[in-house]
Structure 1
Amino acid sequence: MLDHPTLDQLKTLRLDGMAEAFAEMQKQDGTAGLSHAEWLGLLIDRETASRETRRFESRMRTAKLRHVGASPEDVDYKSRRGLDKAMFQQMLTGRWIKDKRNLMITGPCGVGKTWLACALAQAACRDGITVLYKRMPRLFDELELAHGDGRFPRLFKALTKTQLLILDDWGPDRLNASQRRDLMEIVEDRYEVGSTLITSQLPIDTWHDVIGEPTFADAILDRLVHNAYRVELDGQSMRKTKLGTGDESIQS
């Protein structure tokens, strides 16, 4: 029998999906009557699916999402928080990312801003889009250290080249001069090149004060907000929902 040599060759060629399918099909009586072309087609289909799964998993690892399990299928549209179902489902298609537009999600603590951002990120990863998640307070700390140890060019490239950059938890602390400059450089290089998703407890009309210096604030917000979709949430914290359900209500 050629089972073992064939499997070994497929694995040597790193055709793991085909190897798995070959082993399974050898055990199934229903595949005995398939033509060579049908066999080959099934093996190729499995290899294609296997590779896409691996690419998706790689994109998810690179994204480093806060809520890895945030799934588009689990979005809660019933809670009273002002989430427009039709609009959000349109966002899940990823068209706004292909159009290089931005998205701002605002609302009080606990209404699910970060979870929704991560659900959008997972949908993007499924569609082959590269994603990077950063909490803004930690990002600024990371940028400060990177300036000192020589890692800044590498970090800056990662922030500007990803197709979707998520900046979670904008504000409330006012930016210092170095943070303003870094943010300006990031949004300038991303403008009309990639999409940026920002979550914040603060209304957008207060962001100017968070940036601080009027010239920088005007330039940064012009590049971030003018072509952005907005999701403005309200209501009470969803964290009050009983723990242990595993759904969005306790992971917001």
Structure 2
Amino acid sequence: MITTTLDRLRGLRLGALADAYLAQQHDPAVQGLSFDERFGMLVDAEHLFRDNRALTRRVKEARLRVPQACLQDLETGPRRGLDRSVVRQLATCRWVGEHHNVLITGATGVGKTYLACALAQQACRQGYRVIYRRLPRLFEELTLAHADGSYTTLLARLARVDVLVLDDWGLSALTDLRRHDLLEVLDDRDGTRSTVITSQLPREQWHDYLGDPTLADAILDRVIHRAHALALTGPSRRKEAGTRTASAEA
């Protein structure tokens, strides 16, 4: 009878519940529990399995540069220009629900990408869909989309995702086409979705980077309003890691 029940549970795609049920049959500790308690444990096992599977799928689809990034592992304090209370607030992902942006600036190596990926990872954990792209790579995708006729489809995909991470803002030169593409991407998301941007350029230099004054005004108007601005400081974490490794090897 147990075998038949297990087969039926798996046939209903309740594999985690089936495994938990089988484990209960061999666990004397649960034999004294009531039916409701044991059934609740089975439901919890299936629910946890599905939550973890969905999270794994969202993180895989996001293609984060640092998929293991975690807000709990961030170094905060004056040395990094990152306040712990701000991190706690962002960890709630209220900014995603309210369609706010996050702008992360700082010198190379200070942890901008890690912070962006940690925020994205947290959003995935709370059920939001995320896409990560280095901005130079996104420009390449948009150029190819123009050529093969998938431009509208790509824009629609970027517009639907809850959190779009644009890493390395300001590293690649802009053409008129790229400026217009960037405006299209951000305009579709304005007030309806959240965007995370990382850049080595201080925000005060973004207007000059964008070049065309009219398009720069339009792009920044869709970015800097309703945004949380984080300016990271401190030495390069890559250099610090390299120094520690060299010291350990010595």
Q: Which TM-score bucket, shorter chain as reference?
A: over 0.9
| 1:53, distance to aligned residue in structure 2 (A) | 0.8
Q: Structure 2: how far apart are the matches of 1:56 and 1:50?
A: 10
- How big is each residue's C-alpha offset from its partner over 1:105-128, in whole Å with a ceiling of 9 and x where there is no partner? 000000000001111111111111
Distance 1:77 1:31, change over 3 A: same
- The answer to whether the 8 Å contact 1:64/1:132 transfers is yes
- How big is each residue's C-alpha offset from its partner over 1:132-190, in whole Å with a ceiling of 9 and x where there is no partner? 10100010011101111122222212211101100000013331111111111111110
Q: Structure 2: how far apart are the matches of 1:33 and 1:245?
A: 54
2:101 aligned partner: 102
Q: Structure 1: how far apart are the matches of 2:49 and 2:26?
A: 20
Distance 1:116 1:43, change over 3 A: same
2:221 aligned partner: 222
| 1:101, distance to aligned residue in structure 2 (A) | 0.6
Q: Structure 2: how far apart are the matches of 1:36 and 1:76?
A: 47
Q: Work out whether 1:185 is the aligned partner of 2:184.
A: yes
Query: What's the % identity of the aligned pairs?
Result: 46
Structure 1 residues without counterparts, runs of 5 or longer: 247-252
Q: Work out whether 1:212 is the aligned partner of 2:211.
A: yes
Distance 1:132 1:29, change over 3 A: same
1:48 aligned partner: 47
- The answer to whether the 8 Å contact 1:100/1:195 transfers is yes
Aligned AA (1:29) = P
1:152 aligned partner: 151
2:4 aligned partner: 5
Which piece of structure 1 moves more, 71-80 or 44-53? 71-80
- How big is each residue's C-alpha offset from its partner over 1:40-80, in whole Å with a ceiling of 9 and x where there is no partner? 21111111111111111111011110001111221122682
1:249 aligned partner: none
- The answer to whether the 8 Å contact 2:71/2:87 transfers is no
Which piece of structure 1 moves more, 80-89 or 129-138? 80-89
- The answer to whether the 8 Å contact 1:105/1:230 transfers is yes
> How many residue pairs were aligned?
245
Q: TM-score, normalised by structure 1?
A: 0.92
2:248 aligned partner: none
Which piece of structure 1 moves more, 69-78 or 209-218? 69-78
**SS at 2:32's partner residue?**
coil
- The answer to whether the 8 Å contact 1:172/1:210 transfers is no
Q: Structure 1: how far apart are the matches of 2:175 and 2:78?
A: 37
1:68 aligned partner: 67
- The answer to whether the 8 Å contact 1:167/1:198 transfers is yes
2:28 aligned partner: 29
**SS at 1:224's partner residue?**
coil
- The answer to whether the 8 Å contact 1:71/1:119 transfers is yes
**SS at 1:115's partner residue?**
helix
1:17 aligned partner: 16
**SS at 1:165's partner residue?**
strand
Structure 2 residues without counterparts, runs of 5 or longer: 246-250
- How big is each residue's C-alpha offset from its partner over 1:199-234, in whole Å with a ceiling of 9 and x where there is no partner? 000011111112111111101101100211100012
- Large movers: runs of 4+ above 4 Å: 243-246
- The answer to whether the 8 Å contact 1:180/1:211 transfers is yes
Q: Structure 1: how far apart are the matches of 2:199 and 2:82?
A: 15
Q: Structure 1: how far apart are the matches of 2:173 and 2:203?
A: 14
Query: Which residues in structure 2 correspond to 1:163-182 (within 5 Å)?
Result: 163-182=162-181
| 1:245, distance to aligned residue in structure 2 (A) | 8.7
Aligned AA (2:217) = D
**SS at 1:89's partner residue?**
helix
- The answer to whether the 8 Å contact 2:136/2:171 transfers is no
| 1:244, distance to aligned residue in structure 2 (A) | 11
Q: Structure 1: how far apart are the matches of 2:127 and 2:171?
A: 33
| 1:10, distance to aligned residue in structure 2 (A) | 1.1
